[in-house]
Structure 1
Amino acid sequence: MKKDEVPQDGDNLHHGTFKQLFYAVDHQGDYTTATSIGWEPENVALSQAWDEVEQRVADTKAKVEAGALSPIAYYMERTLLDLPLLALKAGKFQWQVKRHMKPSVFKGLSDKMTERYAEIFGIPASTLRSGELLPFKRPA
């Protein structure tokens, strides 16, 4: 791609604060770097992906508030983790982490295990223990 053809469609997702680096060919035919504030199809796709993440987080939050899941399920979605990765980070088998997502099992977790989950989620252990659900925000 030529340097003057690098997409500059406006960045709907990051409102101009995020720029991507591309390699392009300059007027002499040499490779050089060029920044782009966005490409409309990419911005639309990213926006749709974040909408889906927000919906999954909201659905999980509703299940936690209804008492069907423990806060571990909410924070797993909120931090964009999946079950295999959370289990790996927690040093547990997937079936154990899935079991910890049951409210009755969650209430009986040791302080050490609760603190391990809190560290993974980047929240205070007291927040996780209390069941407080911090809001989800798209990265800026």
Structure 2
Amino acid sequence: MKKSEVPQDSGRIVQKGSREMYYAVDENGEYTTALSTGWEAKNIVQDHTMEVLQAEIDQAKVAVKEGKRSPIYYYMLLTRMDVVVLAGYTGFWQWRIKRHFKPEVFSRLSDSRLQKYADAFDITIAELKNFKGD
């Protein structure tokens, strides 16, 4: 794309005043960088993705309140993680994290294990144990 064609479509996801860097071809045919405030197609996809993520978070909140999932599952989604990423932060095996999604297993976790989750989610153990889903 030519430098003069770099999109400048502001979106809701990109913070106000911030810009993204793109590579473009200048008037001499050389590759250079150009700043963009956004791109309409990308903005549409990001908006849709955020709606899907929010729906998953809302469903997780209900599942925790109904006793079908542990708060670990909710906070994992809220912090935009998946099992692989959470395993990296906590040092737990993925299969073990999936077990910790079960309320009956979660209720027996030691404070040292809960602390690893709390650190990953940047919350306290008390917040993790006393899920309110606000």
TM-score (norm 2): 0.87
The whole-number CA distance in structure 1 between the counterparts of 2:88 and 2:13 is 31
Matching residue's letter, 2:109: L
Partner of 2:59: 59
The whole-number CA distance in structure 2 between the counterparts of 1:73 and 1:61 is 9
| Structure 2 residue matching 1:75: 3-state secondary structure | helix
Partner of 1:85: 85
Shift of residue 68 of structure 1? Answer: 1.0
C-alpha contact (below 8 Å) 2:7/2:38 kept by paired residues: yes
Shift of residue 119 of structure 1? Answer: 0.5
75-84 vs 115-124, greater mean Cα deviation: 75-84
The whole-number CA distance in structure 1 between the counterparts of 2:16 and 2:85 is 32
- The within-5 A match list for 1:69-80 is 69-80=69-80
5-14 vs 114-123, greater mean Cα deviation: 5-14
The whole-number CA distance in structure 1 between the counterparts of 2:61 and 2:38 is 32
TM-score (norm 1): 0.84
Partner of 1:9: 9
Matched, 1:68 2:68: yes
| Alignment size in residue pairs | 134
Partner of 1:106: 106
Closer, same or farther: CA 32–94 of 1 in aligned 2, 3 Å = closer
The whole-number CA distance in structure 1 between the counterparts of 2:109 and 2:60 is 20
Q: Percent identity?
A: 40
The whole-number CA distance in structure 1 between the counterparts of 2:105 and 2:4 is 59
Partner of 1:45: 45
Closer, same or farther: CA 88–27 of 1 in aligned 2, 3 Å = closer
In the alignment, structure 2 segments of 5+ residues that lack a partner are: none
| Structure 1 residue matching 2:32: 3-state secondary structure | strand
